[in-house]
Amino acid sequence: MPSLAAIASGTEVSGTEASVPEYPDQPTQPPPLRPVAAAEAQLFWPSVELPGDRNPLLRAIDYSLHYLASSKAAADYQDYGVPGISRDRVWRSLQRLRQLVQTSPSSAAFRETLAQDFVLYQSIGHDGQGTVAYTGYFEPYYAASAVPTPQYRYPLYRRPSDLDRWTSPHPTRQDLEGSDGLQGSQGPLAGLELVWLANRLEAFLVQVQGSAKLELTDGRVMSVGYAGRTDYPYTSIGRALVEDGKLAPDQLSLPNLIAHFDAHPQDLDRYLPQNQRFIFFRQTSGGPPTGSLNVPVTAGYSIATDKSLMPPGAMALIQFPLPQPTPEGEWTYTDTTRLVLDQDTGGAILGPGRVDVFIGSGPEAGDLAGRINHPGRLFYLLLRP
């Protein structure tokens, strides 16, 4: 599914856009993970805490275990390139971690067993020194209509049945829907309209996130999920705004991006078509959003990484500054270490120096996700060999 941090920056999750720092990855530099020496790990363990409510973490572990038992996992791990990390080792690690999360009487007892039973692998990051750019993504809630009206004019589209036979390069976003987003009925998307939104930017953001819950005018709630895309790379409209001097680099966040287009709606026709990639949707059952491993993602406990490099479904430890609202309506950032599961990916989540954190659903989650734009570190937990 994947990243609302991406719109502001450059994330689109397979199923998530965010304000992403410009951290170009170094040339091919395998392996993407390095074992952490025991002495170094001893300095790290004290930062690990069990969550107050362990149930969401346990559910996320169970989703990863379900994935690891699948034929998809067997195929994903067949050519996994980090020596010593296999599907079986990840499976056994999660089984043990689940037991510890469920039964440890305290975080101190949990940390003591982790230090005895587990080793850490650290991502080399974008710089070879472990620096990882963090963003956030979420599942939006928007108003929509099952039929077009003068208010609800901007469609989401079903996947064309012949998409696999489209000649490459595919039509661009502007080719498919026009610069104003209203010309889809004049071309190959005619008749594929799934639902209509009133706000053009919101329809675009659903494409960035890859899924949404839509409150229809008749009172029903409709869920939509990712069904396919055209063959263009993702282009960040937030970065384009910065390059053109419309936003300062330190203003690059989803709330600021939305505010800019609210104040300058004429810019939508200029900037949205610059992301030539187009996303198609299907109506889903209304359950939680699903990541690239075909299991649900869990708010605060699922991350998206480059699955060509990182171990799918594994338990990770993320360290990054987490934004928190203050009673005065401001935002503060708290250094956070959290246990998570690696269960998603995204079109702009490339290289060992990128992590996108799934924050949850709805406007509050979106506000928080759009403010995550800081460097941190990424570790994985594996049982000792």
pLDDT digits (tens, 9 = 90+) for 22-74: 444 444 556 999 999 999 999 999 999 999 999 999 999 999 999 999 999 99
Instruction: Check residue 22 and give its pLDDT.
Output: 44
> Based on the domain organization, do 318 and 210 belong to the same domain?
no
For tokens 């009487």, the residue is 105
Q: Are residues 95 and 155 in the same domain?
A: no
> Residue 330 belongs to what domain range?
5-136+293-383
Average pLDDT, whole number, for the chain? 91
- CATH number of residue 131's parent domain: 2.40.40.10
Same domain, 275 and 314: no
Eight-state DSSP code of residue 356: E
User: How would DSSP label each residue in 231-290?
Assistant: SSPP--HHHHHHHTTSS-GGG-SHHHHHHHHHH-GGGHHHHGGGS---EEEEEE-SSS-B
Buried b (16+ CB within 10 A) or exposed e, 218-256: eeeebbbbbbebbebebbbbbbbbbeeebbeeebbbbeb
Give the residue carrying structure tokens 């990484």: 305
> Among 256, 284, 312, where does a domain finish?
284
Tokens representing 198? 């009133």
Number of folded domains in the chain? 2
Buried (b) or exposed (e) across 118-137, using 16+ Cβ within 10 A?
bbbbbbbbbbeebbbbbbbb
12 shares its domain with 119: yes
Q: Say if residue 171 is in the same domain as residue 132.
A: no
Mean pLDDT of 206-227: 92
State which amino acid sits at residue 88: D
Token pair listed for 1: 């599914």
Nearest to 227 by CA among 194, 198, 203, 201: 194
Say yes or no: 313 and 249 in one domain: no
Give yes or no: residues 278 and 144 share one domain: yes
Which residue, 284, 315, 332, sits at the end of a domain?
A: 284
Distance CA 322, CA 369 (A): 9
Residue 370 has pLDDT above 70, yes or no: yes
| Cα gap 299→2, rounded to integer Å | 12
CA dihedral 288→125→241→348, nearest 10 degrees, is -40
pLDDT of residue 30: 65
Return all residues near 336 (Cβ < 8 A) that are at least 6 apart. 318, 319, 320, 321, 322
Same domain, 22 and 47: yes
Query: Residue 215: which CATH number?
Result: 2.40.240.50
128-186 pLDDT per residue, tens = 999 999 999 999 899 999 999 999 999 999 999 999 999 999 999 999 999 999 999 99
User: Are 279 and 298 contained in the same domain?
Assistant: no
Tokens of 143: 């108003």
* Rounded CA separation 283/157 (Å): 10
Same domain, 162 and 54: no
Q: Where on the phi/psi map is residue 265: left (φ > 0), alpha (ψ -120 to 50), or beta?
A: alpha
Do 143 and 280 share a structural domain? yes
Of 262, 284, 306, the residue that ends a domain is 284
Looking at residue 29, its pLDDT comes to 58
Q: Indicate if 144 and 257 belong to the same structural domain.
A: yes
